[in-house]
Amino acid sequence: MNISHLKVFKVLAETGSLAKTSKILDLSQPTINHHIHLLEQHYGVKLFDRSQKKIKLTRFGKVLENYVTQILDLLDKSKEHMEKMVGEVSGDLYLGASHTIAENVLPKLMGMFNHDYPEVNIHLEVTNTKHIVEHILDGPLELGLIEGPVEHENIISKPFMKDELLVVLPYNHPLAIKKNLTLKEVASLPFVLREPGSGTRVVMETALKKAGLDPNDLNTVMDLGNTQAVIGAVEAGLGATILSGLAVSKEIQLKTVKTCRISNVSIERYFSVILNKSKPVSPVCETFLSFITTHVNN
């Protein structure tokens, strides 16, 4: 007995006709009868009742049909599994991400990606936008996820997620009861900011300039190179800041900070994927790009 016998048996059981089975399988009727004869010899029972015009399963045939259906289904599934393994995405992906994205967007995405593509090893470098661009152009990084806009002739930039920057104040600050601050109130605050060159800093400064407030006029008391350090300084009452709402979601829940918008000023941005225009995109990188496009709401 072999798989061919089972396949012939399955089709004949479904059609009840030698002629139809012959046409579907492109086998002669004597060949079909030979397959069934070998099966009946193997089991020692009659599988089909041929006493009527239409061939029907005997009670033994009905029992075998159930098992054959399961066997053939499992064989199909095993073939699909093997084919998937042969084409499985594997290898290394050298990825750069800004602090806000690395801390608030990537953990969930990387967990899901690892579940679907366990053979991919992601090497993550967390730094600011300026350094990511440099390492995409001249370093080991193949893909960057950044906060600020980038204009460079050798960089391809594609948005993948929308974000909003908000004024972040200590929870008990007098202005924290307000939903919106005026530009004058913003200018009066001491600020703890991300370092120059960070995506957050660039977007903030661009928006304030457009609204008529020179960023150089802000009372900046401290520049810090880490988002969590900035949040910690705000919680300690050292000043206000302007950060992504995503970055302070935990602190808002813990009631250590509050957020406000600036009246008539929208500080929105898109997180972007960047690639080196002159480098070919690896299959692993293409897979990751497709994955984040599918799993992130723009």
- Average per-residue pLDDT for the chain: 90
H helices present in the chain, as ranges: 3-15, 18-25, 29-43, 59-86, 99-104, 106-116, 129-138, 183-188, 199-211, 227-235, 249-254, 283-295
> How far, in Å, CA of 212 to CA of 13, rounded?
81
> Model confidence at 116, in pLDDT bands (50, 70, 90)?
confident
Residue 78's pLDDT is 84
Residue 99's pLDDT is 85
Residue 297's pLDDT is 59
Mean pLDDT of all residues in 25-38: 93
> How far, in Å, CA of 290 to CA of 288, rounded?
5
Q: What domains lie within the chain, and their CATH numbers? A: 3-86 (1.10.10.10), 95-271 (3.40.190.290)
Cβ–Cβ < 8 Å for 178, 260: yes
Beta bridge partners of 143: 95, 275
> Model confidence at 298, in pLDDT bands (50, 70, 90)?
very low
> Model confidence at 269, in pLDDT bands (50, 70, 90)?
confident
3-class secondary-structure state, position 266? coil
Residue 185's pLDDT is 96
Tens digits of per-residue pLDDT, 144-201? 999 866 889 999 999 989 899 999 999 999 999 999 999 999 999 999 999 988 888 9
Residue 273's pLDDT is 94
Tens digits of per-residue pLDDT, 197-244? 888 898 899 999 999 999 999 999 999 988 899 999 999 999 999 999
Cβ–Cβ < 8 Å for 273, 296: no
Q: Is the pLDDT reported for residue 267 higher than 70?
A: yes
Q: Is the pLDDT reported for residue 71 higher than 70?
A: yes
> How far, in Å, CA of 217 to CA of 164, rounded?
22
Residues 6+ apart with CB under 8 A from 207: 165, 265, 266, 267
Residue 84's pLDDT is 62
Express as a percent the part of the chain with pLDDT over 70. Answer: 96
Cβ–Cβ < 8 Å for 238, 222: yes
Residue 86's pLDDT is 53
Q: What is the DSSP letter of 218?
A: S
Mean pLDDT of all residues in 43-52: 89
Q: How many CA atoms lie within 13 A of 155 on its CB side?
A: 23
3-class secondary-structure state, position 92? strand
Residue 148's pLDDT is 66
